Chains A and B, each alone.
Chain A
Amino acid sequence: MDANATTPLLPEVLDAMRPFWMEAFGNASSIHQQGQHARAAIDRARESVARLLNCRAAELVFTSGGTESDNLALFGVLAPGDHLITSGIEHHAVLHAAQALAERGVHVTFLPATPHGVVEVAALEAALRPNTKLVSVMLANNETGAIQPVRELAQVAHAAGALFHTDAIQAAGKLPLDVQALGCDLLSISGHKMFAPQGVGALFVRRNVRLRPLFFGGNHERGRRPGTENVAAIVGLGKAAELAISWLAGSPANDAARCDSAKIQPHVAGAGQPAGAQALAALRNRLEQGILAQVPEAGVNAAAAPRVANTSNLFFDHLEAEALVIALDLKGLAVSGGSACQSGATEPSHVLTAMGLSVARARASVRLSLSRLTTDSEVACALDLVPAAVAQLRRLSPSWNKAMAVHA
C-alpha cells in the first residue's frame, strides 16, 4: 500500500514496451527504417500523453522522470535576479532545486500551508513581486494527497505576469488533468507513479514558454532535452497514459459518492469525479474509517482538504512511524513514513511540520497509498494488521504508557 512511492507496470504497458528492446530497437534519430519505427513509436506516445493532459504533442518534453521534469521547469525558466515563489510542502525535487537556485542568485519565497495542508491564494498574492518570474505549487501532495487550488493560483500568477509550474506527479492518472483548465505553463509528470516504468517522465511546456535545457548535446526533444530517447520507457508512458484516460473516463460520476469535496471540481475537466477515482476513494475511506474505529489517539492528516482519492496519511500518537513501517513490512504490508525519498532521514516530514504538526505527531504519521490495483481483500488485511501493530508498538512506548497512566 505504497503506490505513491511507485506502481508496478500494468501488463498492457509491458506488452507495449516489449518489442522496443530487441525486435524493434532503433535510434529515433536515425534516418533508416529502424530509426523511423522508433521515432513513430515516440510520436504516438507523445500524442497519448498529450491527450491525458489536453495539450499539444509538441508541448511535451520526455525526461528521465519527475525529478528531472521539476528541475528542468525551474532551472529552464529562472535566471539570477529572478524571483521564484514555491511552497513549503513541495517534493524535494522542487524544494531542493529551489534551494540550489537560491545559491545561484535567484530570490526564493516559500509559501506556508494551512493546517489542512493547502497553499492559499491569499498567501501567493501577498508574496508576488514585480520580478516574480515563476510560481511553482504542486497539484496533489505526495504525503497527504491534499489537492492545491492550482487553477486559482495560476490565475493570480498570470495576473502578476509570472509563469506557473505545477508538479502533478501524484495527480497524474488519479485526477483528470487538463492544462487548459488549470492554466499552468509547465506541468511535471512521472511514469512510475502511473503504472509506467521508472526512469521516464514528461514536462509539459506551453508553446510560448522559452526553456533553457539542463543538458547539451543533440537536438532531441527540440533541443530541450538532448540525449538519445529511452524509446521503450517512453512507449510505456504513452500506454500508461492511454490506460489512465480510460480508467478516469469510466462511467459518469455519482454525486452522492463523490470523493472528498466539490472543491476538486475546478481542476477537473469533466463534470463529476470519475468512476474509477470514486471507487478508489470509497476503498480508501473504508480503510481510514476502519483503522480509526479500532485505534484510539489517531487521526487523518489533511482530512479537511480535498484529497486525491488514493492517499491516506494517518497519525498514531505515541509511536514512531519508523518502527511501525518495519513491523508492518515484516507482516507483508508495505507503507511509508513520510515519503520514500526521505526514508532514513533524521528530520520529520517537512510537509507535515509545514502544516503545523508537532515533531512528535509528524514522526508518528504514516502514509498508506492505494492504487487502482488495490483489492478489497488487501484493505481487509490492512484493517487487521495496522491496529494490531499499533497496539504492539504502543505497549512498548514509554510515552503511550505515561499517557495511559494519566487517563487511568
Chain B
Amino acid sequence: MSIAAQPETIAVAMSGGVDSSAVAALLRAQGHPLVGLTLQLWNQRRLAGREGMPETVAGRCCSIDDVYDARRVAEHLGIPYYLVNQEARFESEVVRPFVDEYLAGRTPVPCTLCNNHLKFDALLTTARQIGAERIATGHYARNRFDAARGRWILSRPEDKSKDQTYFLFGLTQAQLARTLFPLGEMQKPTVRRMAADAGLALAEKPDSQEICFIPGGSYAAFLAAYLDEQGQPLPDSSGELVATTGEVLGRHDGIHSFTVGQRKGLGGSLAVAPNSGPKYVLAIHPDSHRVTVGSDDQLLARDLRANRLNWIAVARLAGEMRVQVKIRHRHEPAWATLAPEGDDCVRARFDQPQRAITPGQAAVFYKDDEIVGGGWIV
C-alpha cells in the first residue's frame, strides 16, 4: 500500500474491533494526522427485550461497548475521535429495504446495502467536510490505481480467509480513489500482533460475525420485533408447499421464513413425504405465496441473472467475458461466462451447475484476484 509522502489528514473508520483499531495504530505510527470516526447506525437497545430478542446486547457494532472500545483506542493513540449519527439513514437505506426484501421472499445482504448506499458515502462526505480527503477502513481488500486502464482496481486481500471484497462490489471509482485498505497486505494474526504491540487492550477481542443490527442472528425474530415496534402486522404470506410437479405437499406459515437452499425447519411442514430423501427450498413465489421444495440436486442451476450492476475493473461489459462468480459470502467463486442482457442486467452461465442461486444475494464477478464488478441476483 502506498501513501503519499505529504502528511495529510486521514479519517479512520473505527468500529471498536481489532481490525479498524489496528488500522488507526498503523497509520498513527506512519505519522499521519488522523481523525477517528464511528458511524452510529443502529440503537441496539431499541428492540431489546421484545419477543425473540435478547434483553441486552454486548459486543455488537454500534453497541455502547464498541463505541467505548473505539473511543478508548482513539484516546490511547492520541487522535481526535467523533461519533457520527447515521441512524435515520441506516434505517431508511438498509434496515427497511432488508425488511421489505425479506417480506418479498428474497434473502438480502444488508452489509452490502450498507456499504453501497451508506457507509462509504457517509464516511467520505463527513471526512471531506471536516478536512480529511481520504478515509481508511479495516476491510480486508486491496485497491490501487491502474494507469494503463485508467481505473481504480479492487482486488482480494493477502489473507484470503478474511476476504471482504464480496461486500465491497458496489464501491464507485470515486470512493475507491479516496479509500485506503491498510490491512489488504496482511494476515489476520499479524494484525492482532500489531494491535497488541500498539498496546491496544482489545487485540484479542473476537471477530464479529453477525449482521450488526441482528443480535443472535435470528432474522425472523428481528423481523417480527421490528414490525411490532412499527405497529405494522407481519403480513400473512402463509401458503402452500409444492413439489416441482405442482403437487401440494403441505402448508407453511409465511414465505419470510424461507431461504432458497434451506433444509432446516422444513420437515415438520410437510404432511407426507411423497418420496424419500430430505427436502430443500428450491424457489419462493412472492405473488402466490407458494414455496417450491425438492431434492438437493434440484437446487443446482447453470444460470443466473443480476441487475443493479456496478463495474470496477471495466467501465462496462462490452460483450461476453469469462469470470469467476461468487454468489454468496461463503461460496467458492465458480467459472462462468458473463453476457450483457439489456441496460442494467447481465446473465452468467456457469460451467458447472451451482447450488442454491438465491434471489436477493449479490453476484460478484472476479477475474483472478480482481473484482470486475457485481450486481444483485434476481
Contacts and interface: CB of A to CB of B under 8 A. Distances in A.
Contacts of B131: 327, 330, 392
B85 A330 contact: no
Contact of A322 (B35, B43, B85, B128): B85
A329 B88 contact: no
Contacts of A393: 129
A330 B129 CA distance: 11
Interface string A316-345: 000000111011011000000000000011
A392 B125 CA distance: 11
Given A330-B35, A330-B80, A346-B88, A323 B40 contact: no
B85 A327 contact: no
Contacts of A380: none
Interface string B170-212: 0000000000000000000000000000000000000000000
Contact of A330 (B43, B88, B128, B130): B130
A381 interface: no
Contacts of B88: 346
B51 interface: no
Contacts of B87: 346
A323 B37 CA distance: 11
Interface string B224-245: 0000000000000000000000
Interface in A371-398: 392-393, 396-397
B125 A396 contact: yes
Given A344-B85, A393-B129, 18 more contacts: A322-B84, A322-B85, A323-B84, A323-B125, A323-B129, A323-B130, A326-B35, A327-B129, A327-B131, A330-B35, A330-B131, A344-B83, A345-B85, A346-B43, A346-B85, A392-B129, A396-B129, A397-B129
Nearest to A344: B83
Instruction: Give 6 closest A-B pairs by Cβ, nearest first.
Output: A327-B130, A346-B87, A323-B129, A393-B129, A326-B130, A326-B82
B295 interface: no
Secondary structure dominating the interface of B: mixed
Interface centre among A329, A345, A396 (most CB of B within 10 A): A396
B354 interface: no
B126 interface: yes
Contacts of A326: 35, 82, 84, 126, 129-130
Contacts of B82: 326, 329
Interface in A256-309: none
B196 to A, nearest CB: 29
Nearest to A346: B87
Interface string B74-98: 0000001011110110000000000
A329 B129 contact: no
Nearest to B83: A344
A402 B117 CA distance: 20
B172 to A, nearest CB: 15
Interface of B: 35, 40, 43, 80, 82-85, 87-88, 125-126, 128-131
29 contacts: A322-B85, A323-B84, A323-B125, A323-B126, A323-B130, A324-B129, A326-B35, A326-B82, A326-B129, A326-B130, A327-B129, A327-B130, A329-B80, A329-B82, A330-B35, A330-B80, A330-B130, A344-B40, A344-B83, A344-B85, A346-B85, A346-B87, A346-B88, A392-B129, A392-B131, A396-B125, A396-B128, A396-B129, A397-B129
Nearest to A323: B129
A151 B43 CA distance: 41
Contacts of A330: 35, 80, 130-131
A330 B36 CA distance: 12
A254 to B, nearest CB: 42
Nearest to A319: B129
A396 B128 CA distance: 8
A346 B83 CA distance: 12
A150 to B, nearest CB: 34
Secondary structure dominating the interface of A: helix
Interface in A197-248: none
Nearest to B84: A322
Contacts of A329: 80, 82
A323 B126 CA distance: 6
Contacts of A344: 40, 83, 85
A399 to B, nearest CB: 12
A231 to B, nearest CB: 32
A215 B82 CA distance: 36
B189 to A, nearest CB: 34
A119 to B, nearest CB: 29
Contacts of B84: 322-323, 326
B165 to A, nearest CB: 27
Nearest to A329: B80
Contacts of B40: 344
Contacts of B130: 323, 326-327, 330
Interface centre among B84, B128, B130 (most CB of A within 10 A): B130
Interface string A340-354: 000011100000000
A322 to B, nearest CB: 6
A330 B11 CA distance: 12
A391 to B, nearest CB: 11
A346 B40 CA distance: 9
A89 B243 CA distance: 62
A192 B82 CA distance: 24
Contacts of B35: 326, 330
B90 to A, nearest CB: 10
Nearest to A348: B88
Contacts of A396: 125, 128-129
A256 to B, nearest CB: 41
Contacts of A346: 43, 85, 87-88
